[in-house]
Amino acid sequence: MATQNLTTTAASRGLSSAEAALLLERDGPNLLPGKPPVPLWRRIAAQLRDPLIVVLLVAAALTLVTGDLTDMAVIMLVIVVNTAVGVGQEIRADRAITALTQLTAPAARVVRDGIEREIPAGDVVVGDLLVLAEGDIVPADAVVAEAAALLVDESALTGESVPVEKSRDEPVSSGTVVVRGRGRAVVTAIGLASATGRIASLMAQGSGLTPLQRRLMGVGRLLAGVTVLLCTLVLALGLVRGQPVELMVITAISLVVAAVPESLPAVVTLSLALGARRMAVRNALVRRLPAVETLGSVTVLATDKTGTLTEGRMLVKHLWTPAGEATVTGTGYAPEGLFTRDPSLDDESLTDLLSAAALCNDARLAREDGEWTALGDPTEAALLAAAGKHGLDRSLLERRLPRTAEQPFDSGRKRMSTAHRRPGGGGMVLCKGAPEALLHPPVLRDDPALLARAAERADQLAAAGYRVLAVARADTETVPETAEERDLSLLGLIAIQDPPRPAAAATIAACKRAGIRPVLITGDHPGTARAIAADVGIIGPHDTVVDCRDAASLDGDGASVYARATPEQKLDLVQAMRERGDIVAMTGDGVNDGPALRRADIGVAMGRRGTEVARQAADLVLADDDLDTVVAAVEEGRRVYTNIRRFLVYGLSGGAAEIAVMLLGPLAGLALPLLPAQILWINLLTHGLPGVALGGEPALPATMTAPPRPPSQSILGAGLWQRVIRIAVVLTAVALGVGLWAYDTGRPWQSMIFFALGATQLGVALGSRTRPGSLANPMLLLAVGGAFILQLAGLYLPLLNDLLGTEPLGVGDLMIVTALSALGYAAARLDRFVHRRDR
C-alpha cells in the first residue's frame, strides 16, 4: 500500500492492525540498530599495533634470548598494563548509539482500528497516527494532522532555545518533546530514516587517533629505526676489533633494550591517569585517557550555545513601559531577584505589566528538591519567574481574577489573549504576543507616537538578541465572554533571553590568553548567536556571523560564529577545521551536538543538563556543567604533555649516552666499556620508577599564557632533540672521562663507568624537576633515592657482583665518581634555563 494512501487514511482513523503488521514486517521496528560488539582479541590487537609497543615486544623477545628474565618481565608488565588500560577506556567510548536508542520514547500512543491505544515505540510504523500531549517524546518523524496550541521543544536537535509552535501539515521530529498543547501527527519516517537515526549514522564515524597517539607513533617509528641502525654499528665495530661474536650480539641486543625508553607507555599512562584523577576532583570526568592530553593541544574551542555558553532556560532581563524601563537581575526561576528601574517608572506600571504577563499564561513553576523548575512553555515560565521576583503570586492573582475565556497562541495571530472577571464587577482582557502583531490598530488604541516609540524599542531589544513580547490590557464594564483582541492599551514590552553562564566570559577570556580560538556553532538565530557571542567575548561588535542556511560553503576558516547550523553542518565545520590543521575541542549538550562531539579531537559534554547522547559521545564530561572546568582541563592537558616531553629528554639522553659510550669507548682504547648485564641494570634503574615518577611533576607557572603547540609539531620538536643531545654529551663525557682516568690509573674502570653512567642519569632526573627546591612530587625523590641505593648494591653486593661482573670501589673512588655525577644535575638545570618553555 502506498505511503500517501496510508497517510490519508491515518489522518482520519489511523491504520488497521493488519496494515500496521504488514508495514512492521516490511520496514522493521522503529529502533536504531546497535553497533556489533568488537571482540576482545581485536581490541587487544589494535593496542599492540602501536609502533612503540611493537618495539617493546621485540625488546622483550631479545631479552628472553639473552636470558635476562627480570628485564623481560618488567617490559612485559608495562605492555600488559598499558594494553589493559587502553582496552578498558575504549570499551566505554562505544556507547553513543546505544544512548540514542534509549532516547526514543519507550511507549507511544497511536490510533489503530479507530481506537487510541498505547504501544511500544519500536512498533510504530510509517502511516501511524500519533497522539501527542504535553510531556510526550515524539517517537518518530511525523507530519501534524491536528494541532491545538501544540508547542514542541526542538533544542536537543536544533539548538534553538525557544520551543516551536506546530500547525497542521508541519513536521515534528523524533526525539523532540511536546511542552504544551496537544495534537495528532502521521508518521513519515522511523528508525535510521528519522532525525535521530540520521544523527546516529553520523555518530558511527569515529574520531581517529588523538594528537598524542599520532605523535607517539612517530616517536616509536623513529626510535625503532635509529636504535637498530646504531646498535648494528656497535655490533660491527666490536666484530672488527676482534670481540667474540656471541658477546657482541648480546651487547647489541642489550643496547636495543637500553636505547628504547620502554617505560614511556607507563609514563604516558600514569601521567594521563593522574591528570584524569585531578580533573575528576574538579568535576571533569574523563572517558578516554588520551583526551586528557588532547585538551592541552587544542587550537580551536568550538562550542554550542544553548546549555553550554548559556544557562539553557529563558529569563526576563528587561522591562519597558511608557513610564520608564527596568532591568531584572537574578538567575533561575526562584522568586529572588532585583529590579533596577528608571526613577520615572512607578510601581503600579511595573505591577500591571507583570500581573498581566502572569495571568495571560499557561505555564507553571514547581519546586522540587529545593530547586524551581518550569512546566510548559519556557518563555511563559520566564514571565512567571519575573512576576515572582516582583513579589506577585500567580495563584493569588488567579483567585482574585479568574479566567473566563481565552484565545490560545497560534502562529497566524502571533499572540495569546485571556479574559478575566474582576472581584468588584466587570472584567478585563489581557493579550501578549509579538510586537509586530500587537503594536498597531485596531488591536491597540494608543497614540500612534507611543506605538512608534514602543516599536523602535522592540527593534533595539531584538537586535541585541532578546525575544520581545508586547503586553496589553483592556478594562470592561461587564465580564467578557470572549477574549476579544481590540481596543487594548499597551502596558509595556518584556525582553527575554537565555542568559550566558556566569563562567562563560571568563572561560573564553582564559582560552584567548592561552592562544585558543573560540568558535560558536549553534542552530539558533544569527541575531541571538551574535548577542551571546558578544556578551561572552567571542566576537566584537563588527565581526561577521555566518548564517549556515545562506552560506555557499563551510570551511571553518575566518569566522568565529556560525548560526542556524544543522547537525550535519556542525560535523562539516569540525571536520573542515581539523583538515586545516587545527586540533578541535567541541563542547555541547544536545543530541544535535553528538556527531560533532564524536568527530572532534576531543568532545566535552555537559553532565547535568546534557543529553545522554552528548555524554556518551564525548571524551570529557563536566559533572557540574561549569565551563571554567574546561580551562582547568586544558591546564592539566598541557601539564601531561610537558611531563611526557620531560621524560623523553631524560630517557632519550640516557639511552643516547649509553650508545655513545659503547661507540666511542673502543675508539679511546676501552675495548668493551660496559657488559650486557650492566647495560640492562642501568636501564632498569633509570628508566624504571624514576622515569615514571617524572610524570607526576606539577605544571609550569606560565602554562596558561603560552600558545598551544603547533598541531604539526612532533613531540620531539621545539628543541627537544637539541636538549637530548646536550645532556647526552655531558653524560657521555662524565662516563668516558671517569673510565679513561680509571683505566690509566689501574682502577676497576668498567665498574666505575657503570656507576658513573647510572648515577649521572639519576642526577638528570633530579635536575628535571619543575620545583627543585620544594617537596612537590615526593615520589620522584623516593624513586631516585631507591635507584641510587640499588646502583650501590650493584657494586657492593656479592650476588650482584657475580651477576653484573662488577667490582667494589674504594671509598675515595666512590666519592669522586659520586661528585662527578652531580654534573648530570647541573646539566639538566642549565638546559632548562636555556630552554625555558619546558621548564
The neighbouring-strand residues paired with 110 are 117, 130
- Runs of H (alpha helix) within 336-375: 347-359
Look up cell 550535519; give the residue: 568
Nearest CA-CA partner of 831 in 738, 761, 768, 752: 768
Q: Are strands 129-133 and 141-153 parallel, antiparallel or unpaired?
A: unpaired
135: its cell numbers: 510531556
Catalytic residue among 50, 128, 141, 304: 304
Backbone phi, psi, residue 596, to 5°: -70, -40
192-197-200-201 Cα dihedral, nearest 10 degrees: 50
Give me Rg for the CA atoms of the chain: 35
The neighbouring-strand residues paired with 329 are 338
Nearest CA-CA partner of 275 in 256, 258, 297, 253: 297
593: its cell numbers: 551536538
The neighbouring-strand residues paired with 418 are 406, 430
Sign of the alpha-carbon dihedral angle for 710, 716, 721, 723 = positive
Our answer to whether residue 304 is catalytic in this structure is yes
Residue at 449: amino acid letter: A
Backbone phi, psi, residue 119, to 5°: -135, 160
- Runs of H (alpha helix) within 537-675: 567-579, 594-599, 612-617, 628-667
30: its cell numbers: 522503529
Nearest CA-CA partner of 586 in 307, 203, 295: 295
Rounded to whole angstroms, the Cα distance separating 679 from 684 reads 9
- CB of 203 closer than 8 Å to CB of 96: yes
56: its cell numbers: 617493546
Nearest CA-CA partner of 94 in 161, 136, 39, 21: 39
- Say if residue 526 is preceded by a cis peptide, omega within 30 of 0: no
Rounded to whole angstroms, the Cα distance separating 440 from 454 reads 11
The neighbouring-strand residues paired with 403 are 420
Q: How many CB atoms lie within 10 A of CB 413?
A: 17
625-631-634-636 Cα dihedral, nearest 10 degrees: -90
- CB of 297 closer than 8 Å to CB of 709: yes
Rounded to whole angstroms, the Cα distance separating 292 from 85 reads 14
Rounded to whole angstroms, the Cα distance separating 341 from 557 reads 43
Nearest CA-CA partner of 742 in 752, 731, 734, 757: 752
For 50, half-sphere exposure in the C-beta direction (CA atoms, 13 angstrom radius) is 25
Nearest CA-CA partner of 161 in 438, 337, 436, 382: 382
Rounded to whole angstroms, the Cα distance separating 580 from 773 reads 43
User: 418: helix, coil or strand?
Assistant: strand
Look up cell 585517557; give the residue: 289
Nearest CA-CA partner of 286 in 508, 294, 639, 697: 294
Q: How many CB atoms lie within 10 A of CB 262?
A: 28
- Runs of H (alpha helix) within 28-139: 40-48, 51-66, 69-92, 96-103
What amino acid positions are annotated as catalytic residues? 304
